[in-house]
Structure 1
Amino acid sequence: MAVTVRRVLLPIFLMSIFARLSPVTCTNNQLEVMQEQELRQLIIDEDYVVVLFSNAGDCTGRCEELEDTLASIREDVVEALNAWVVRTHSLTLSTEYGLNTKKTGDIIFVRKGVPLLYSGPADDDEYLLHYLITNPESSIHTLTDVNFEHLTQAATGATTGDWLVMFARADCDSCVQLQSTVEAVAAVLKNKKNVAVVDRDDQGGQTTRRFGVKTFPSFILFRQGRLYRYMLPAVDATTLEHFASDGFRNARAESVPHPKTPFDDFTEWCADWLRENPEKACLGLGILAVVVAGAVFFCVQSSRQAAATANKKANKKKK
């Protein structure tokens, strides 16, 4: 009899336990929260990390919606990409990724160290899942002085399509912070338009000077043998995407210039260097003056020696 009672009571007991645990499971349907250093190490160690940035310790507003959406697709993301899905509140990392710390939440998908910003709806789990799974790699092209014309065919406007190009340089912090934003533009425009980066200080100097780029970052759309400069103050994924798709029609169309001659490119390089290094301009001008003076002195001396040699030969003939 006692055994029978235990058999009847045991399922009821287990059901009561599960009933008590189920609310905990639901309320615990949140992402693991990581501190900055812990997250930095995770990004180094893992190929794929999806990070939700909250604007405070608590996740509210858009951040809360994004957390619920991420939690609902977390298992699918892990299965498809073997990715980590976490949340953090780090103002330093937010700044490094170019996020607006006043907003209520952003998602950065870090793929082998390359960040991708998610700028889509907060409550659409199918859209977010598709966005993450279909962008495991960067869609940005790297253009240099060697391959720029070959890949873009900018001067001819031939068959490679439109190119939205960001011009950057090595010491430009804003360029680094915009990386995740430009990656987002490339992800949305994939298979429609090309998105690329030219680094002036990494094999892109001649191309940068060819198009007269003086400020960084700068964006230019190359389309059908014309170029359109992005002049709007706001630099975000949605605005850049709109500019590349249709907004360029409001910008002035310019003919694509041909590459500069070596002499013109050198003088342009000198002008850029003097403008960016005013404290060294006097020293640079002094060195240039010495070089010019030395060249003049060398020419004068050569002329004098040539004249002296000619006089000696003339005197010998007279004798």
Structure 2
Amino acid sequence: MQIFVFFLLISVSYSYLHLDFKRIDTEQQLDDFTRSSPLNVVVFVDKQQCNDDNADKCRNEHQQLKQIRDLCTGDNIQFTLSMNSQLAEKQFNIHVSSPKLCFFRNGFPIIYSGENVDSIQEWLGEARQRLTHTLDDNTFEHDTQATSGSTTGDWFILFKKSNESNSLIPIWEGASIHFRNRAIFAYVNLDTNPNIQKRFHLFVTPTFILFKRGKMYRYEGTSWQQSAFVNFVERDYQQVKAETIPPESNSFSFSLGDAAKVIPMYFIVIPMICLVIVLLVLVFISGFNKKKKTTSERTPFQVKID
């Protein structure tokens, strides 16, 4: 009971300390907030970190949060606070050990990985423009120029399904900023783009493929950290087998594929039909000749006259 009261007092004191901040606590509130404007910032904080032993730290944190809020207001960015650590972990794989800033640009989140509050404004300016692209069956080849030698640059593409966790998105967005003007990061939703899925044989998701100078390299690492993706694009891709990029599928190739399946059937069915017809004709001719021969050999009628 004493322990319960202790944590209750901590929670109340921490909530009171941050009473002057707009807060969200549920997934629905988070979804509504990120849809309310093009640019939004959510700062996740851990309310259990505040107690009598580190009250000074909490007050300092409060001042930092106010500073961040003022920066967001000056840059026309909406700001809010969340103390729901489960929400941070489930949605963005954020384990809150200190305040974590999540910046949403038209719904696409990116996590601030720095430690200095003074550098946040510069980072907000860099991250304000979303650098990732969304590709589909109609735009993939036109935008990437994959089979023509990647003339538009190197592309690192995340192939995923719509029902998969979105915790990869902030990591992917962060890596895209690291490669500004050097490599392009993109998404493909395989649920709505079956041609791309067939073309690259993507049956295990999520899948990460780097398209570089007319070749493709599949990321086979087990780590989904931003640093792992950065290292793969910069050098680690050389450690995996370079694959030939399959040609783009189109209606003509699909018709040829269908024809390839149908033609062997004709080679079997049509000769069989012809054979049956020939046999029927032969049977008919044979029966006709037999009937004719029987008629011609019949003994003529003779009349005996006494």
TM above 0.5, one fold?
A: yes
Residue 116 of structure 1 pairs with residue 110 of structure 2: yes
The 1-side partners of 2:190 and 2:40 are apart by: 30
User: Does residue 199 of structure 2 align to residue 206 of structure 1?
Assistant: no
CA distance in 1, matches of 2:20, 2:39: 19
Query: Is 1:169 matched up with 2:164?
Result: no
Once the two structures are superposed, residues 194-247 of structure 1 have per-residue CA deviations (whole angstroms, 9 ceiling, x without a partner) of 0111222212x2223322323111111111112221111110222212222333
Pairs within 5 Å for 1:174-213: 174=165, 176-203=166-193, 205-213=194-202
1:13-162 superposed matches below 5 A: 32-36=22-26, 37-58=28-49, 69-97=64-92, 99-101=93-95, 103-118=97-112, 120-126=113-119, 128-162=120-154
Letter in 2 for 1:34: I
RMSD: 4.0
30-39 or 236-245, which moves further after superposition?
Answer: 30-39
| Structure number, greater radius of gyration | 2
Matched residue SS, 2:87: helix
* Displacement over 6 Å in runs of 4+: 27-30, 63-67, 263-266, 298-305, 311-319
Contact 1:69/1:123 (8 A) holds in 2: no
Q: Contact conserved, 1:53 with 1:88, CA < 8 A, in 2?
A: yes
Q: Which moved further from structure 2: 299-308 or 83-92? A: 299-308
Q: What is the aligned-residue identity percentage? A: 22
Distance 1:113 1:251 in 2: 34
Give the direction of change, closer, same or farther, for the CA distance of 1:47–1:57 in structure 2 (3 Å limit). Answer: farther
* Structure 1 Cα separation of the partners of residues 67 and 238 of structure 2: 41
Distance 2:257 2:62 in 1: 52
CA gap 1:265/1:223 in 2 versus in 1, 3 angstroms: farther
Residue 95 of structure 2 aligns with an amino acid whose one-letter code is: T
Give deviations 1:120-176, integer Å, cap 9, x for gaps.
3112522x21222333343221222222222212223242111000111234x23x3
Q: Secondary structure at the match of 1:181?
A: helix
1:145 aligned partner, one-letter code:
D
1:313 Cα deviation (Å)? 9.0
The residue number in structure 2 matching 1:219 is 208
Letter in 2 for 1:239: A
The one-letter code of the counterpart of 1:192 is R
- Which ranges in structure 2 are unaligned for 5 or more consecutive residues? 1-16, 259-265, 293-306
**SS of the residue aligned with 2:74?**
helix
Residue 187 of structure 1: CA displacement?
2.7
TM-score scaled to structure 1, two decimals?
A: 0.65
Q: Within 1, Cα distance between the matches of 2:233 and 2:50? A: 33
Q: Partners in 2 of 1:177 and 1:265 — Cα distance? A: 39
**Does 1:243 find its partner at 2:261?**
no
Q: Any conservation in 2 of the 1:30–1:68 contact (CA below 8 Å)?
A: no
Letter in 1 for 2:128: P
Gaps of 5+ in 1: 1-26, 267-294
Question: 2:245 aligned with 1:256, yes or no?
Answer: yes
Per the alignment, do residues 82 and 264 of structure 1 end up closer, same or farther by CA in structure 2, a change over 3 Å counting?
Answer: same
| Distance (Å, rounded) in 1 between the aligned partners of 2:205 and 2:32 | 30
Distance 1:259 1:39, change over 3 A: closer
User: 2:43 is matched by which residue type in structure 1?
Assistant: L
Is the Cα–Cα contact under 8 Å of residues 53 and 94 in structure 1 kept in the other structure?
no
Structure 1 Cα separation of the partners of residues 218 and 63 of structure 2 = 40
Instruction: Name the aligned partner's letter for residue 51 of structure 1.
Output: V
Q: Distance in 1 between matches of 2:124 and 2:68?
A: 10
